[in-house]
Each structure stands twice: as structure tokens, then as C-alpha cells.
Amino acid sequence: MASVTEFPAAPAERPALAPIRVGTRRSDLARIQTDIVVRALMEAFPDRQCEVHAMATMGDKNQVTALHDFGAKSLWTHELEAALAQGQLDLIVHSLKDMPTTLPPNMILGAITTRHDARDALVLSKHLMSALESATAAPSIPKDLLTAPSILASLPEGSVIGTSSVRRSAQLARLHPHLRFESVRGNIGTRLSKLDDKDGPYVAIILASAGLERMNWSARISRYLTSRGEEDREGRLFGSDESVKERREASGPPFRGVLHAVGQGALGIEIRGDDEAMQGMLAKVACVRSTLAGLAERSLMRMLEGGCSVPIGVETEWVHSSTTSRETLAMRAIVASLDGKQVAEVELTEDVGNNQEAELFGKKVAQALVENGAGPILDAIIKEREAGEASRTAEI
């Protein structure tokens, strides 16, 4: 009689896979952005679960000090990166603009997801909007302010614009020297509350449009700011009926508007460099075009050693090439002195097809900026910052 081999019974359920531990900051915007990544991961890997771990960073804990007065480059990332290094997290979701361009040892940028609107946004105070609508605004405020080609140019002398970014204030000081700029810190809700305080100094503030839109506050946006000037949501300049082609051809230096921050509008996912499994998973949620643009921008900043305290602005745009069958990457970039009186600006276009080419393109743009005078501007800013740090240390 033939023997019968008995196989062990199959388990009733497959062993559960370990959840993906996702780190983020505690702010409402950070949680919304993390949810975007979590949904993408769970859609790509429906058999996996995610655990979100939120914590406060140095930048969250100090809501008073102006950003350019901080010495730390990892203002929004240090505490999260420590947990990642210790194996308490599998990945961190960052606003790409807040990620230092040089990461800690064994940490890498694992993916950049599809970029949202990268433009800056001009937000007017509610009391100014109400006064305009009821025709009770001060005589110095133009009645047609909301339809003027430039709201910023039309504001009265000495109007205060709130921004915590020296990049924004430097570029705006160059274009609109009649305005004043004061720091405004806090999460988006806090900044809007400070703006709308009737006893506060601000007539408007500048914020990243991506954050406003993700928080469902896009209705507060009066204008979108770009290298060309003030635009509507669709990218049309106010007071202009030019075509898309004409807009593109008119976008080069000297720039007539504000270039956004490196990485603005995009989400970066940081992981351990030796976590090959996570690298493979993130390849399913990364956006190639956003990644190439983001890497080029970060390479530019790394070469110039910029951060929240250095006025470096960029714009990247995929444009159709008449000589190749694929789109090329155009990058516009600017370095400005803190008072806006000195600038170096450039626009270059390159055929970028992989990460290495993106990195090289960023270096090429950085070199062009240096050749156009960025070096002395950056040296002066660094010396001024070091002198301020020395003064504060002496006072302690």
C-alpha cells in the first residue's frame, strides 16, 4: 500500500505584514500632506497598513524667532530624523522645501511625489477686503486695487507685508521698495489670524499657495506670484491677454516677479539609505517629472549653500523642445541681497532624463548665477548672519 504524505494545514490567515511607520510634524498641514502619501502607499500596496507618528520639531516649538535668525539647517527635520535613524520610523514625509539639501549619514531622499502648485500667494487682510467691497477704504487705497495689474505696486507707501522668508522679502523689496516687510510666524491658521487682526500691522501676507490649497483656504488667495508678475490661478497676468506662448517667451530675466522656494509645492519622503525594501516601495508612488525638477533645484541650492536664511528663488518648468522629441527642463533662478538692491538671475534649459542629469543641471545653473554675480551677494549675507549670531552669543 502506497504511503500517504500528509501536508500541514494551511494557516487560516496569512501572517500580517508589519505596518509602515510614517513620521511627520504635528501641524494640520503636515498631517494633511502625510495623508496624501499614506493614501498613495495603501493604494499601491493594499495589503499594508500605515501608522502615523507625529512630533514637534525645533521650528514648531519656537514660533517667535524669525526664520533667518535660526542657525540650524534642520529646523523642521532633526527630531524626526533621529527617530528614523534609531529605527523607530520607516519614513518621514516632509515639505520638500523644508528638507536640508545635505541629509544626515545613511539618510536619503527616497521619493518626491507629484508636485502641487509651486507658486507663492498674496493674501489680503479681511478688513482691507471688506473696506474695498463697501467702498470705505482709506483714500490712499485705489478703488480698483483688486483688478489692478499689480496689487503690490498699487498699495500705499509703507504698507506692511508679512513674510517669514528673506527670499520673498528680498525679491519684493527689489520690485516694490515703497513697501515694508515684517516677519510673521506660526502655522497657516495662526498667520491668517495675525493678518486679519484689525490692530495688527499687516495689509497682506505671502504664503505658499500649495499649503493654502491643501488646507482648503484657496479662496483667500488674491494673486499668485511668479517670475513674470501677479497671475490668476490659470497663470494669466492681470491686465494682459497674451497667449501661453507669449507668456513663456516673456518669462526670462530680468524677472518682474517673485520666484518660489526650492522644492516648494512638493513632498519629499526621507528613508534610511540601507532600507532597500522601502526604496522599492517608494518607486511606486514617486513622480518622475517632479523628482527631476526637485533634484535639479536642490542641487542648485546645495552648490550655493542656501536655506531659509539665504534669498534663493527658483522656477522650473517642463517645456516642449523644438529639437528633441521630449520635453526639456527650464530653470529660472535668482539670488538677491537682503535689501533687494543687488541681484543675480539666470534662465537655462536642459535635456534632463535621469537623476544624475538633474543634479548636473542644478550645478550648471548655480555656476551661471555665480558668474552673474551671486558670489559677492551670498558672501555678504553670510558675513551679516555670522555677525548677528556672534552678537547674540555675546549678549548671552
Which residues are marked as active site? 97-98, 167-168, 185, 191, 308
37 CB-contact burial (10 Å; exposed 0-12 / middle 13-18 / buried 19+): buried
Bond preceding residue 254 cis, omega within 30 of 0:
yes
Give the SS3 label for residue 109: strand
279 CB-contact burial (10 Å; exposed 0-12 / middle 13-18 / buried 19+): middle
Residue 134: CA atoms inside 13 Å, Cβ hemisphere, count?
9
Give the SS3 label for residue 62: coil
Gyration radius (Cα) of the chain, Å: 23
Asked if residues 125 and 203 have their Cβ atoms less than 8 Å apart, the reply is yes
Asked if residues 291 and 352 have their Cβ atoms less than 8 Å apart, the reply is no
SS3 string of 161-215? EECCCHHHHHHHHHHCCCCEEECCCCCHHHHHHHHHCCCCCEEEEEEEHHHHHHC
Give the SS3 label for residue 234: coil
